[in-house]
Structure 1
């Protein structure tokens, strides 16, 4: 059986709930990708072009500082990364995390949560910006039940 880490970013708790469901379903360890400065409601206001999240997402090179040192993946065979979709792609704190890890020889799979977007753009974006990760897929999860079904389909 594979040793699995579920690393996730969640600004409002939705993705955290999905990450716990995924981790429970595959008996994985959890690691929260937590920004050094938490996002306020005003920061997450996507209708305000000057909000923190809007400004970060306009800058593809933005890498917000994280609160914790990155995860040590040495003992893991599989990394599952979870995030909400922001502007069609993974939020910048996820980029900070992905830039800081070594995934040589590991399976990398991702899931996302969304209020309306599908996962296709997020998958294309991860594949193009992080080709070294060999991300297998990005699955949009809408419930704990969907998370458990998805994990069973992964052969991990």
Structure 2
């Protein structure tokens, strides 16, 4: 077992691709956040948007306890400038068990969304060690590989200081 966990929710697979690349670069364990709520198709998109805007979250399931790790990377797509409802639920449920947090997000534009990281910080109850924002097209094409590797290197360098 690694001392680093990478976890995420992914509706279309882009955030999962980024999570897998981060886990590989860090030699980390990977855990996908699962929800019984479906976010596929037009109905799922509307459900996700409504839950995002009302700050409601579905029940979530994960296989790993973040308390077992020195560092947890939590990934989310960006919906309406916020983390997805399943990620909100994950952080509301497990956030206080995380010792060190490094959130990342995937969006259409790839721009930094301060509201996403602020919400994740608030839900987890601790400031992030580092953040990463990626563009969906860059993740899918592999163009973000160097940024992912550099982020992993910077996290690895600081790992010794994780409490």
Q: Structure 1 length as normaliser, TM-score?
A: 0.83
Once the 2 structures are TM-superposed, how far is the Cα of residue 119 of structure 1 from its aligned partner? Answer: 2.7
Equivalent pairs counted in the alignment come to 147
Higher helix share: 2
Q: Choose from 131, 134, 145 the match for 1:138.
A: 131
In 2, are the aligned partners of 1:110 and 1:138 still within 8 Å (CA)?
yes
Once the 2 structures are TM-superposed, how far is the Cα of residue 15 of structure 1 from its aligned partner? Answer: 0.3
Q: Unmatched 5+ residue regions in structure 1?
A: 46-50
* Counterpart position of 1:24: 24
Spell out the pairing of 1:7-156 with structure 2 (5 A cutoff): 7-45=7-45, 51-60=46-55, 62-66=56-60, 68-69=61-62, 71-101=64-94, 103-104=96-97, 106-116=99-109, 117-127=111-121, 129-130=122-123, 132-142=125-135, 143-154=144-155, 155=157, 156=159
SS at match of 1:149: helix
Once the 2 structures are TM-superposed, how far is the Cα of residue 69 of structure 1 from its aligned partner? Answer: 4.5
Q: Deviations over 1:108-147 (max 9, x none)?
A: 11111000242322122323x3262332332102423321
Q: Unmatched 5+ residue regions in structure 2?
A: 136-143
CA distance in 2, matches of 1:105, 1:63: 19
Q: Deviations over 1:21-69 (max 9, x none)?
A: 0000000000101111331121354xxxxx1112111212x12122x25
